[in-house]
Structure 1
Amino acid sequence: MQRNDEMKLGLYLVQAGYHAGAWRDPSVPAHCGVDIDFYAQMAALAEGAAFHFVFRADSPSVADQDHTTIARLSRNDGFEPITQLSTLSAKTQRIGLVATATTTYHQPYHLARMFASLDHLSRGRAAWNIVTSEQKFEAPNFGDEELPDHDTRYARAREFVEIAKGLWDTWEDDAFVRDKQSGIYADTTKLHLLNYRGDYLSVRGPLNIARSPQGYPALIQAGASDAGIRFAAEVAEVVFTAQPVLEDGKRYYAALKEKARAFGREDDQVLIMPGIVPIVGRTKQEAAEKLEKLQSYTHIDVQIGVADRLLGFVTDLRSMDLDSLVPETLPQTNFTQSRQKVLLDLAVRQKFTWRQLVRSISDSWGHLMVVGTPDEISDTMVTTFDEHAADGFNVIPATVPGGLDDFVELVVPELRRRGKFRSAYSGQTLRENLGLKRPLNQFASTDRQSSVVSSQACTQPH
């Protein structure tokens, strides 16, 4: 199926903003990481602009190892995403709610139940960003000395998602009749026991919550290693990726769509949404000055600590000559393999020194950064979309609320003027707004599901 001519937009919602020095900006509330009203304000701004979703990343650990980095970085006092988005579900009406949760250190039953609850709470706006743990300090928080190896983490993730889908299909859509006259609350002929046994996980079921409004939450995935791409092609409905170079993005887009087709999937059911860090100015000079100010707030200890982490802890930048060239290869990491490759490719292409690379990482963390006027940022987004390197973007403001305000007030109107972004929501659920199909229950007969869907369509409020 052909995609329409409008891009999808998500808001990557992070305390203070994405730039490593953002929290020091005078316009950014210093306590915003644990201020739910602040997050509600950001979600309301995005919803008012008809963004498709807000996206919350997560890692169940303090991600850095050196106290000199931890002391100066604002990323270690944030909410757990499902809890946070459950609260935001009551403060928003239409925008999707994407929570990150790892398959490495969760259990499928708990996570399936929590996401089904979020989908009910939000009346069909939940999505799960499926990740395998990639931070070295997560393992000791769960009784392990080291993370499982990269491919093992993805093998477990595949089983995990299969189990979650099976649990979400425990009950058919009309299983809960709640008939006071007869005294029958649930039709148990429409209850399905999972009894899953795999190499890594075993789950009996059934799930103790009704099938959710979307059937199950939209499935999002962010890996771009070889294992990650295979996993995305098989299960992901939205793919969040870092693609700072257009030609690389086009190759990634084409390869992932081709792999998805091999699994029998349609192009418009696998949406590729790379991250973009826009720094907007009414003039090019104004935008550049905003970036320079943020860079002045970012201590070299932070730059080095973040770079070491994103390169997979295979470097020791504190002992290196930062003015030497970045080599063409680095040791393979068991952590963030895809991001390491993106950053190394960029460094080699640009002939970066280590100092230039660590500065670039603290600015954009490997994503596409565009510093310029609304026209220039729109040009980049439209070109990337039209060249089939993206179906939309996860917008990552360098600071909040200022960076988001700038994008909503200056860039969104320009995208609309060019016919590339919508002005209102088209559906009630996140799946409807993204153009994703509502999944059929794998255990129920097609005829019975068709009649239920038709009945629901007739009574659904519009």
Structure 2
Amino acid sequence: MAVRHGDKMTLVAFMQAGNASVYAGSWRHPATEHGYLDASYYAKIGRQLEDGCFDLMFFDDRLAMPGIYGGSVAEAVRYGARPVKLDLSVVLGVLAQTTSHIGLGATYSTTYYAPFHVARTFATLDHLSRGRAAWNVVTSVNDAEAQNFGVEAHLGHDERYDRADEFLEVVAGLWDTWDDDAIVHDRAAGIYADPAKVRELHYRGKYLSSRGPLTVPRTPQGRPVLMQAGSSGRGREFASRWAELIFTGDPGLEIARNHYADQKTRLADAGRDPASVRICPMAYAVVGESEDHAKEREAMLLNDLVDPIASLTLLSELMNYDFAQHDPDDPVTDELIASVSGIRGLVQNLRTHIGGETVTVRDLAAHRATLLQGPRFVGTGEQIAEQMAEWFHGDACDGFVLAATHLPGAFEDVVRLVVPQLQRKGLFRTEYEGKTLRDHLGLDRPTSTFRSTAAATTGSDA
């Protein structure tokens, strides 16, 4: 039996605040609207997703143009390989005012931002959205990003997660520095807030320190929802400690089942209730009015819209390795796997997904930039709902992070044709029943863990 909260799917819309979705050819799609520099574009998509009762729309981010391939950003710019990335705090501010129910999430890096900044940004968003904020925690390290921030040397993979643990301790501690009832607004006595209920944090760890308190009172959700997508062993340990919604990239059903079981076990071993954490793989839904129509749409997406160089450009960004030195049909050798951080799990997944032992550079690139990064559901609305139900009932997920092949049409198709079928099957809500993102996800509102300044000084009580 699946270890999940309730019998309803979680549906998350995977967004980019830029020229292309996670599908690199989306900007070339004939139905794509190129309104990504206009606030009304994001407002329109947000309202559309609310009509479909989605739990959350969250935005991926990078802090540089893809510039690893060939040592230049030229190919990213030429082929539209996601060279545009807007400031997400502004985009989510727009959405906080133009939507009413859907959760609003953003990716922020523990490498390039300070804990106080992240704590304040998401606490502010949680207030202004009336309890709908989520933070997707990443530890991403990429040479192009590093150069934009003047970083010359990075911590190793596992040590980067060690630092991220401290980062989360600081952020969570800062969110807890205000008690829920600290503000009294006593006009007659002239007392704004009770100083005994607003505390300094005085966190000091190996990597980070912060005095506090936060300049934003405790938020409607207590804390914004925490998302995480690490798939390595250390990444899964980190998720087991912190994540409330885990975003995965499992391309096949059996891979997803194994990942789901492993992560739920890790959550239990960490002393957390596995049912309290949602695990959602990224997926594409290619919807048609008929099965033949859907397959025609799929064929166009697979064959016509993503230039191979765009694929290699994005693969180089992901792996922080210049694939321009390889022919696309070169096999991925053990030597290459050993030399490129993060590639091993991707190769293993692809071998399982496509069969055989040989994976080429072209295979890897297609996985990153086309429709191979997660499951691809193709068909009518009813057929896609059946495919999604197979994963949900098959102990492979608690829902899905749906990526768009084009915007806003891909989400329009899902809301119009797929969501009603999921609702008919009793797998998805027909209306929002709560006010906050935690309500949508069935998550408890956390109580403050701040007990005393002396305990927080040790760095273990945040």
TM superposition score normalised by structure 1: 0.90
Corresponding residue number in structure 2 for 1:48: 51
Give every structure 1 segment of 4 or more consecutive aligned residues whose post-TM-superposition deviation is greater than 4 Å: 324-329, 335-341, 347-354
Task: Tell me how far 1:345 sits from its aligned partner.
Answer: 4.8
**6, 9, 23: which one pairs with 1:7?**
9
Corresponding residue number in structure 2 for 1:250: 257
1:429 is aligned to 2:431: no
- Cα distance in 2 for partners of 1:139, 1:89 equals 30
- Cα distance in 2 for partners of 1:338, 1:186 equals 51
Residue aligned with 1:63, SS = coil
Contact preservation (8 Å) 2:68, 2:322: no
**18, 22, 31: which one pairs with 1:27?**
31
- Cα distance in 2 for partners of 1:344, 1:331 equals 17
- Cα distance in 1 for partners of 2:92, 2:156 equals 31
**287, 306, 315: which one pairs with 1:307?**
315
Give the residue type in structure 2 aligned to 1:72.
Answer: Y
- Cα distance in 1 for partners of 2:422, 2:62 equals 33
Higher mean Cα deviation, 414-423 or 137-146? 137-146
| Residues 352 and 242 of structure 1: CA distance in aligned 2, closer, same or farther (over 3 Å) | same
Number of aligned residue pairs: 442
Corresponding residue number in structure 2 for 1:455: none
Contact preservation (8 Å) 1:243, 1:368: yes
1:63 is aligned to 2:70: no
Task: Tell me how far 1:200 sits from its aligned partner.
Answer: 0.5
| Residues 356 and 34 of structure 1: CA distance in aligned 2, closer, same or farther (over 3 Å) | same
Corresponding residue number in structure 1 for 2:376: 369
- Cα distance in 2 for partners of 1:244, 1:215 equals 35
Task: Tell me how far 1:222 sits from its aligned partner.
Answer: 0.9
Give the residue type in structure 1 aligned to 2:63.
Answer: P
- Cα distance in 1 for partners of 2:358, 2:380 equals 27
- Report percent identity of matched pairs: 38
1:162 is aligned to 2:169: yes
| Residues 350 and 404 of structure 1: CA distance in aligned 2, closer, same or farther (over 3 Å) | farther
| Residues 355 and 107 of structure 1: CA distance in aligned 2, closer, same or farther (over 3 Å) | closer
- Cα distance in 2 for partners of 1:216, 1:7 equals 23
Task: Tell me how far 1:338 sits from its aligned partner.
Answer: 5.0
Contact preservation (8 Å) 1:18, 1:399: no
Corresponding residue number in structure 1 for 2:403: 396
User: Structure 1, residues 144-178: CA drift from partner, whole Å, max 9, x if none?
Assistant: 22432211211111001011111011110001111
Give the residue type in structure 2 aligned to 1:419.
Answer: G
RMSD: 2.2
| Residues 162 and 139 of structure 1: CA distance in aligned 2, closer, same or farther (over 3 Å) | same
- Cα distance in 2 for partners of 1:146, 1:341 equals 29
Task: Tell me how far 1:225 sits from its aligned partner.
Answer: 0.7
1:127 is aligned to 2:115: no
- Cα distance in 1 for partners of 2:429, 2:38 equals 30
- Cα distance in 2 for partners of 1:223, 1:181 equals 52
Residue aligned with 1:33, SS = coil
Contact preservation (8 Å) 1:168, 1:207: yes
- Cα distance in 2 for partners of 1:208, 1:253 equals 38
Residue aligned with 1:185, SS = strand
Which structure 1 segments of 5+ residues have no match?
446-462
Contact preservation (8 Å) 1:224, 1:241: yes
**207, 212, 218: which one pairs with 1:211?**
218
- Cα distance in 1 for partners of 2:81, 2:427 equals 34
Give the residue type in structure 2 aligned to 1:54.
Answer: M
Give the residue type in structure 1 aligned to 2:13.
Answer: L
Residue aligned with 2:377, SS = strand
- Cα distance in 2 for partners of 1:354, 1:160 equals 35
Task: Tell me how far 1:424 sits from its aligned partner.
Answer: 0.6
Higher mean Cα deviation, 168-177 or 279-288? 279-288
Higher mean Cα deviation, 93-102 or 329-338? 329-338
Give the residue type in structure 1 aligned to 2:307.
Answer: H
TM superposition score normalised by structure 2: 0.90
Give the residue type in structure 2 aligned to 1:188.
Answer: P
- Pairs within 5 Å for 1:101-180: 101-180=108-187
Contact preservation (8 Å) 2:66, 2:81: no
Task: Tell me how far 1:325 sits from its aligned partner.
Answer: 4.9
Which structure 2 segments of 5+ residues have no match?
453-462
**285, 296, 301: which one pairs with 2:304?**
296
Contact preservation (8 Å) 2:5, 2:276: no
